[in-house]
Amino acid sequence: MKKFNRYEKWLLETGLVLLTAKMKKEIAEAEEQGKNPIMTQGYVDMVAKETLDKLTELTLKNKL
């Protein structure tokens, strides 16, 4: 299986961070309106961390 290079990893990390922030904001807004969202902010953080860990494993290592 091919691995991601550092630039591809950076692109995916940046997108994940932006999406995570957006999702957490939407969850907070829903909670302020008295709604019960399906996901919590903690769950979003947990899934994002797991995804970043997988991304690190699928990225080429530095050849030093």
pLDDT means per 10 residues, the chain with 64 residues, are: 92 98 97 95 97 94 72
Q: Is the pTM of this model over 0.95?
A: no
Q: Can you give the pLDDT at residue 64?
A: 62
How far is Cα 20 from Cα 40, in angstroms, rounded to an integer? 11
| Three-state DSSP class for residue 60 | coil
DSSP assignment letter at 3: -
Token pair of 5, please? 């290079």
- 27: closest CA among 15, 16, 40? 40
